[in-house]
């Protein structure tokens, strides 16, 4: 693993030396390290230096690969030997973006896969362009993303400046001038029978009022119980929502193979705990269904990533695009879950 990492660093150093430049020791140390082990200073260096240099580094690796005399499979094998490093992920990403000229005998299949990837890429592009602009770097992000996919800064959503206020229609305001006066009380001397009937009516009205008061009280108690249950459900959902948002931020910024499966294991554990606390009534909520969809999409993406690692060069681009689409499905489900939770559903 050490030799492979040093090989790629040597190739980078050779490229930048030819340009009259050199990589600093801090940058080299970050490239050699597992992103999950970054400390605060290294994460800051990653966000402020490595991410802006990402395309430049991949371009340098591509130039060195083209003159190395080695095949893409040989470079890929070396990258897998040091796959817990950030540099390995950049090498694999560079190789996956390069056109494959070794499969001329399968031109129809290549065209079909390219067509599918083009359509999927357009879908992803439309989704990204309709989102939020990062105030730090200006890059467009998905509408519900919490962190910028380019620089990692937290995104701020604009608040609504106006609220709709509908005035009360004049017809709904009672006019006291048009209320008819009460009829005069009946004479006790002439209407003794009617007076007794009125007494019974008073008793009936009192009983009815008591019953309605009890019904109202029961309704209030029921609403409080349901409200407490809903509050408890929302509290139980917070950890899984936070974990899904963490997965979303990692897949937007970039994550390597080993880190993804480490985060996926944690995601499954948090979801199992959430599922255990949910009642049968909770599992019928829209938010629960969308949370489950998001978790399943990330799990399916992991299966696709495994296929990508073991696939032939011809199918790697196909699996790469499928991986991106499953991540997009997970983020879409998370957006729906957030919206449903905000409505208490």
Strand 140-141 and strand 132-133: pairing?
antiparallel
User: Rounded to the nearest 5 degrees, what angle is found at the Cα of 121, between the Cα atoms of 262 and 339?
Assistant: 65
pLDDT for 114: 43
CA distances (Å), 79 to each of 14, 61, 76, 82, 276, in order? Answer: 18, 12, 5, 5, 40
Neighbours of 280 (CB within 10 A): 6
Residue 176, both tokens: 């006291």
Delimit the domains of the chain by residue range: 2-98, 187-342
pLDDT for 290: 95
Q: Give the integer Cα–Cα distance in Å for 51 and 74.
A: 26
Please list the pLDDT of the chain residue by residue as tens digits (345 residues).
Answer: 457 889 989 988 899 888 888 888 898 988 888 887 889 888 888 888 889 889 989 999 999 999 988 999 999 998 898 888 888 889 999 899 887 544 443 344 434 434 444 454 454 444 444 567 787 877 777 676 777 767 777 777 655 433 444 444 444 444 444 444 455 554 444 444 444 456 666 676 678 878 988 888 887 777 666 666 689 999 999 999 999 999 999 888 888 889 999 999 999 999 999 999 999 999 999 999 999 999 999 999 999 998 888 888 888 888 888 888 999 999 999 999 999 999 988
Give the three-class secondary structure for 322.
Answer: helix
User: Nearest to residue 93, comparing CAs of 296, 265, 305, 302?
Assistant: 305
Give the three-class secondary structure for 154.
Answer: strand
**Rounded to two decimals, what is the model's pTM?**
0.38
Q: Which CATH architecture has domain 187-342?
A: Up-down Bundle (1.20)
Give the three-class secondary structure for 140.
Answer: strand
């Amino acid at each position: 693993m050490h030799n492979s990492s040093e090989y790629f660093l040597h190739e980078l150093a050779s490229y930048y030396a030819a340009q009259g430049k050199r990589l600093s020791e801090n940058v080299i140390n970050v490239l050699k390290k597992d992103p999950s082990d970054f400390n605060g200073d290294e994460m800051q260096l990653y966000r402020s230096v490595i991410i802006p240099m990402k395309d430049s580094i991949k371009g340098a690796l591509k130039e060195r690969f083209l003159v190395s005399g080695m095949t893409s499979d040989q470079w890929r094998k070396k990258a897998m030997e040091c796959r817990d490093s950030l540099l390995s992920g950049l090498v694999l990403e560079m190789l996956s973006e390069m056109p494959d000229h070794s499969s001329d005998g399968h031109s129809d299949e290549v065209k079909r896969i390219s067509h599918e990837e083009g359509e999927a890429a357009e879908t992803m592009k439309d989704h990204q362009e309709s989102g939020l602009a990062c105030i730090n770097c200006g890059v467009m992000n998905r509408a519900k993303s919490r962190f910028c996919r380019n620089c990692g800064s937290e995104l701020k959503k604009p608040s609504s400046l106006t609220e709709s206020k509908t005035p009360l229609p004049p017809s709904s305001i009672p006019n006291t001038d048009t209320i008819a006066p009460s009829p005069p009380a009946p004479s006790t001397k002439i209407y003794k029978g009617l007076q007794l009937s009125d007494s019974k009516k008073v008793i009936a009205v009192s009983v009815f009022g008591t019953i309605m008061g009890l019904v109202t009280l029961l309704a209030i108690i029921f609403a409080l119980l349901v409200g407490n249950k809903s509050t408890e459900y929302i509290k139980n959902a917070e950890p899984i929502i936070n974990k899904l948002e963490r997965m979303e931020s990692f897949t937007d910024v970039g994550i390597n193979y080993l880190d993804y499966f480490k985060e996926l294991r944690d995601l499954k554990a948090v979801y199992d705990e959430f599922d255990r606390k949910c009642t049968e009534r909770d599992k019928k909520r829209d938010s629960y269904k969308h949370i489950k969809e998001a978790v399943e999409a990330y799990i399916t993406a992991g299966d696709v990533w495994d296929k990508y690692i073991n696939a032939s060069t011809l199918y790697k681009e196909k699996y790469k695009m499928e991986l991106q689409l499953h991540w997009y499905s997970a983020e879409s489900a998370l957006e729906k879950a957030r919206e449903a939770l905000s409505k208490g559903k």
